[in-house]
Amino acid sequence: MQLSDRDLSQLDVEELLNLSEKDLRHLSIKLLTDLKEARERLNQNSRNSSRPPSSEAPWEKGIRQDDSTHESEEVQDAENSDTKESEPLEEPDHTDQNETDEARKPGKQPGAKGFGRQQVLALTDYKDHFPEDCVSCHQPLKGCPQKAYTAFETIDLEWADKAHPGLRLTNTKHTYYKVTCACGQVTRKEPYRSNSHDALPDITCSQWRLVGPGLASLIICLAYRMRLSRERIEEFLQDWLGLQLSIGTINNTLHACLRAPHRQESGAATQPIEDELVKEVVESQLLHVDETSWMELSTFLWLWVFSTDTVTAYWIASRSSELIENILGRAYYGWLMSDGYQVYRKYRNRIRCWAHLLRKAQGLEESLNKEAQLFGKQTLEFMGILMTAIREAREHPPDVPLTETYQAQLIAYRQRCEQMKMASHKKTYALATEMLNDWDAIFRVLEFPHLPLTNKEAERALRHWVILRRISYGTRTEAVSCVFAILISVIETCRKRQQSPWLYLATVIHNQRSGLAVPKLPIAKGSE
């Protein structure tokens, strides 16, 4: 804008009438430029600019129902979801923080209502756990006097399969015994206790074990795949399984079901899963990367997605180059599909999503500046011709590379971009500069027409979680962010491989609770 609010406030009719013709002409030019820029801003939407669809009013969204871009589906989805009953992934903080300078720790507060079950369930199964050998003389303890010293109940689900459809809830009483050896030594069978319990100091062992792996898997599914709020999950379990679980237990199940690797930390039980995801990403031939904003309490972070034909992996981190370097290292040898964000630029075999560029060109064509209109139109036409040629080349590979066939047009268009770099119209300048800066990445697809033209793959992989973010307002602690990222990576990777994420997660949770190794991610259906 050429005139500031202050300038405008000083202009009135009287002043205009007193201006000389020359001054009036000068002012008119400024006013016209500003008016056009203001109108263009007014007409901007997600179809012709990088404005996110979420910034649009509901009536604006309704107008373009024929729009097939990913955002419009996202908007539809978001509208269908019941955002009124939204809540954070963790319980909101209701304590008055003004009263104390000390920050409230996440998790159960002293004096808060306890976890656990409010209901007495009939037992369906019993499991006794005995020590095998004496800790002192190492003799087998069979036949020695025994006494139960602790017990806990675990509610779980018996899995539905083709032969046994439906769900059956089980309530197993696990009893642990101590045995007195002939040598006098008393040996106890101890329930396995992993390090992840240390992160949950307020939760007793029996509370931790209340929700079995299958039930935990169902709760994860309801929260993340079905995007239900904690209240809705509580309602579902009550209405369909006759099970009363407190919100606290549901929350605890979601946050503590796995011990995920923290940023910069290794050795967690799910480290093998993360290692496998990273390995697949690094070794991929084609990688789609994208990122979307994410809130971790009051920290502004990004949810990153790395999508290959075998895995969809997520990380929550800052938007610096650090994460991408941690994952990919300095060199990545496959094709990297991304938007124009700088951190990707150092990777050699980079390709650019055309959808963003086409939207920007569309915006120029619809602008009020003649030069911009023309450049927008030329860009759309040129890219349109190239897209047709690329699609044809995929069907019938040409003898001559497309870069040669279209060499003259490429040179001409590049010259247009050079000219438009001098344009006074900001968005025209911006698109021309972007084209020139990223020229190789944008037009590399001409040499390799089998490569994709858009980053839809990655955008699609983020869409579901963007809607969840709107319902849940992100995560609250780093630990929860890490568990969340690994859970959604597992869910999407299993789905990509046409395997049940829920069976796999139940096995992971079971193994982790028993001190067993975490199984590898299931391999794609058909390649077993």
Nearest approach in angstroms of CB 144 to Zn ion is: 9
Bridge partners (DSSP) of residue 299 are 296
Nearest approach in angstroms of CB 150 to Zn ion is: 21
Contact predicate 327/314, CB 8 Å? no
Nearer to Zn ion, 136 or 415 (CB): 136
- Any idea what DSSP says for residue 492? H
The region of 42-50, 79-87, 178-186, 320-328 touching Zn ion under the rule CB under 5 A is 178-186
Query: Whole-angstrom Cα distance, residue 46 to residue 260?
Result: 36
> Is 8 an interacting residue with respect to Zn ion (CB under 5 A)?
no
Contact predicate 453/390, CB 8 Å? yes
Nearer to Zn ion, 1 or 137 (CB): 137
Nearer to Zn ion, 10 or 139 (CB): 139
Per-residue CA distances from 4 to 7, 27, 32, 478 (Å): 5, 13, 14, 43
The region of 62-70, 179-187, 386-394, 515-523 touching Zn ion under the rule CB under 5 A is 179-187
Nearest approach in angstroms of CB 186 to Zn ion is: 9
The region of 67-75, 105-113, 174-182, 207-215 touching Zn ion under the rule CB under 5 A is 174-182
Q: Taking CB under 5 A as the rule, which mask of x and - marks residues 116-155 in contact with Zn ion?
A: ------------------x-xx------------------
* Residues between 466 and 525 that touch Zn ion (CB under 5 A): none
Nearer to Zn ion, 132 or 404 (CB): 132
Residues touching Zn ion: how many (CB under 5 A)?
6
Task: Candidates 75, 89, 157, 181: give the one binding Zn ion (CB under 5 A).
Answer: 181
What is the length of the chain? 528
Write phi, then psi, for 157 (nearest 5 degrees). Answer: -115, 140
Nearest approach in angstroms of CB 130 to Zn ion is: 14
Task: Report which residue type is found at 494.
Answer: C
Query: Whole-angstrom Cα distance, residue 254 to residue 91?
Result: 12
Per-residue CA distances from 499 to 144, 412, 490, 495, 505 (Å): 47, 50, 10, 6, 11
Q: Taking CB under 5 A as the rule, which mask of x and - marks residues 346-385 in contact with Zn ion?
A: ----------------------------------------
Write phi, then psi, for 140 (nearest 5 degrees). Answer: -60, 145
Nearer to Zn ion, 136 or 409 (CB): 136
Nearer to Zn ion, 132 or 283 (CB): 132
* Residues between 280 and 319 that touch Zn ion (CB under 5 A): none
The region of 96-104, 176-184, 425-433, 500-508 touching Zn ion under the rule CB under 5 A is 176-184
Task: Candidates 29, 63, 183, 205: give the one binding Zn ion (CB under 5 A).
Answer: 183
Nearer to Zn ion, 146 or 499 (CB): 146
Task: Decide: helix, strand or coil at residue 118.
Answer: coil
Contact predicate 328/347, CB 8 Å? yes
112: left (phi over 0), alpha (psi -120 to 50) or beta: beta
Nearer to Zn ion, 131 or 363 (CB): 131
Task: Report which residue type is found at 221.
Answer: C
Nearest approach in angstroms of CB 147 to Zn ion is: 16
Nearest approach in angstroms of CB 136 to Zn ion is: 5
* Residues between 422 and 441 that touch Zn ion (CB under 5 A): none
The 335-338 sheet, strands edge to edge: 312-317, 299-307, 286-296, 335-338, 350-352
* Residues 6 or more apart whose Cβ sits within 8 Å of residue 355: 69, 453, 454, 455, 456
Contact predicate 278/327, CB 8 Å? yes
Nearest approach in angstroms of CB 185 to Zn ion is: 4
Nearer to Zn ion, 16 or 137 (CB): 137
Nearest approach in angstroms of CB 298 to Zn ion is: 57
- Picking from 207, 202, 196, the residue whose alpha carbon sits closest to that of residue 110 is 202
Contact predicate 336/287, CB 8 Å? yes
Question: Could you tell me the sign of the dihedral formed by the alpha carbons of 454, 458, 460, 462, in that order?
Answer: negative
Per-residue CA distances from 52 to 45, 61, 205, 286, 468 (Å): 8, 11, 46, 26, 16
Query: Whole-angstrom Cα distance, residue 490 to residue 485?
Result: 9
Nearest approach in angstroms of CB 132 to Zn ion is: 12
The region of 144-152, 181-189, 212-220, 265-273 touching Zn ion under the rule CB under 5 A is 181-189
Nearest approach in angstroms of CB 322 to Zn ion is: 55
Nearest approach in angstroms of CB 127 to Zn ion is: 25
Nearer to Zn ion, 182 or 331 (CB): 182
Query: Whole-angstrom Cα distance, residue 340 to residue 337?
Result: 10
Nearer to Zn ion, 183 or 331 (CB): 183
Nearer to Zn ion, 187 or 369 (CB): 187
Give the tokens for residue 459: 């955008």
Task: Candidates 72, 124, 185, 204: give the one binding Zn ion (CB under 5 A).
Answer: 185
Nearest approach in angstroms of CB 129 to Zn ion is: 19
Nearer to Zn ion, 139 or 388 (CB): 139
Binding site for Zn ion (CB under 5 A): 134, 136-137, 181, 183, 185
